[in-house]
Amino acid sequence: MSVKERDPLTGHQTTGHEWNGITELNTRVPRAVWFFIIVTHIWALVYWVLMPAWPLVNTYTRGLLGIDQQEQVKERVAAADATRGIWADQIAALPLDKIRDDTLLMANVDRAAPALFGDNCAACHGSRAEGGPGYPSLVDDAWLWGGDDETILETLRVGINSPHPDTRYAEMLAFGRDGMLDRGQIRIAADYVQSLAGLDSGASPERLEEGAALFADNCASCHGEDGAGVQDLGAPNLTDTHWIYGGSDEALFETIYGGRQGWMPAWENRLTKAQRKMLAIYITSLADGGPE
């Protein structure tokens, strides 16, 4: 069985073994293979000498270059913080209006804020801050807690219904589930709310009158006599057409029946003061119809 043959094509001998018709040539390992084995091994050896590489009993070979990835990260983060600090410290110290007047600082805001918004806020408020079901739009000028600089900064700092000790707190009560209104009453109230917003609810004047009475008894304490909302309480204006959860019959029924308690994280410990200020400038510029 062990008959060595010469392969006519390559001129190499076979090893003389055969497996179900398969044979093997005894060709030398090509020079190039040895060459690259040597190159890669030398490279590895050099790397081991220079860098942290082999474990010892209770330490490891640290390498001649003395490089340590943890130290490197710390240094790089510190260096990056230092370059940003040049302008970020100023932003942290100045009131928003002063920043807006400073074109140099504003150049930094314009560069940094969109990505900050995209990474932290857009997931709920939408990539163009347009809001969505359950999340208020930030471009419509209909503010729950107020749209002036200080109020926005505070909202960012403490969040809404968040675990932050100073958090803004607001809750729409579950009038239906908690038995304050029955289903019929809720539908009437919903029609009245639609009429407040100038929507055609199709309800008769008597029904709306009944709704007004229900509203005065149950809703006005938060949303105001006229339904225009109370910003100190974070109670939304019901006379405009900006909805968080929607103005349809079903959405309004669900809101009044089960209540609502939206949630916005507190950013005090997640973003720096400068970052929160840049975001406040960014979203006020959006609300003013600034950059799209």
Q: Distance (Å, rounded) from C-alpha 123 to C-alpha 280?
A: 17
Judged by CB under 8 A, does residue 53 bind other proteins?
Answer: yes
Residue-by-residue DSSP string for 89-100? HHHHHS-HHHHH
Please indicate if the annotation marks 41 as binding a ligand. no
Judged by CB under 8 A, does residue 54 bind other proteins?
Answer: yes
- Residue 290's identity, in one-letter code, is G
Count of alpha carbons within 13 Å of 116, Cβ hemisphere only?
Answer: 21
Three-state DSSP at 121 gives coil
Please state the φ and ψ torsions of residue 105, each to the nearest 5 degrees.
Answer: -65, -40
Please indicate if the annotation marks 180 as binding a ligand. no
Residue selected from 4, 37, 183, 209 as contacting other proteins according to rule CB under 8 A:
37
**CB-based contact 201:194 (threshold 8 Å):** yes
> Please, what is the minimum distance in Å from the beta carbon of residue 52 to other proteins?
4
From 50-58, 165-173, 203-211, 235-243, span contacting other proteins (CB under 8 A): 50-58
Please indicate if the annotation marks 106 as binding a ligand. no
Q: Distance (Å, rounded) from C-alpha 88 to C-alpha 47?
A: 40
172 forms beta bridges with 260
Contacts of 157 (CB under 8 A, 6+ apart): 164, 166, 266, 267, 268, 276
* Residue closer to other proteins (CB basis): 40 or 261: 40
> Please, what is the minimum distance in Å from the beta carbon of residue 48 to other proteins?
7
> Please, what is the minimum distance in Å from the beta carbon of residue 54 to other proteins?
7
Residue selected from 65, 77, 80, 216 as contacting other proteins according to rule CB under 8 A:
80
Judged by CB under 8 A, does residue 15 bind other proteins?
Answer: yes
Judged by CB under 8 A, does residue 267 bind other proteins?
Answer: no
Instruction: Give residues in contact with other proteins (CB under 8 A).
Output: 1-2, 7, 9-10, 14-15, 17, 19-30, 33, 36-37, 40-41, 43-44, 47-48, 51-55, 60-61, 67-70, 80, 83-84, 87, 107-108, 111-112, 114-119, 122, 127
